[in-house]
Amino acid sequence: MKLYELTQNYLNLLDLLENPEIPKEIVESAIAEIQGDFEDKAENIVKLIKSIEADIKGYKEEETRLSARRKTLENKVKGLKDYLEVSMIALDKKDIKGKIFTLAIKKNPPSVIIDDFNILPMEYKKIEEKEDKKKIKESIDNGIEVPGARIEQKESLRIR
């Protein structure tokens, strides 16, 4: 039986407890049986959760390993390109036409360099608005009303 079916049966039995025509002992016995089944099912779901979490951990470790490998290869490509560029510049070779590839040293588009952000006029700065949740929480905790914000405390399942 599925967990939601056990839950529904349990709730139905609780309703039957209020019915005086049905013996209380029979309903209580059925409730005890369903509670045991529910607890077994809940524990099996936790086993599944733990198995999936182990898979997630393995995937994260593999992502880290693959990311490190990718960065190593990217650095190798950059090093080879730099090596090739320095060699071409040293030999004053601006372009090479090969059988498969053509290499050329060209000017990049101009780029803006910011030497001192603090002295830039405001019209050249982007101001990003973001809430300060830590400050808002401290204010509300100290009894200060903050329009547009509130504290909410939720419940969640903890598995130990």
Within a domain: 146: no
How many Cβ atoms from other residues are within 10 Å of residue 16's Cβ? Answer: 14
- Number of domains forming the structure of the chain: 1
- Does residue 153 lie in a domain region? no
In a domain, 158, yes or no: no
- Using the CB atoms, write b or e for 131-141: b if 16+ within 10 Å: eeeeebeeeee
What pLDDT band is residue 4 in, cutting at 50, 70 and 90? confident
Which domain, by its residues, includes 128? 3-107+115-141
Tell if the pTM clears 0.85, that is, is over it.
no
Residue 79 is assigned to a structural domain of this protein: yes
Q: What is the pLDDT of residues 76-131, one digit of tens each?
A: 999 999 999 999 999 999 999 999 999 999 999 999 999 999 999 888 998 888 88
Residue 50 lies in a domain: yes
Question: Does some domain include residue 23?
Answer: yes
Instruction: Answer yes or no: is 147 within a domain.
Output: no
| 135 inside domain | yes
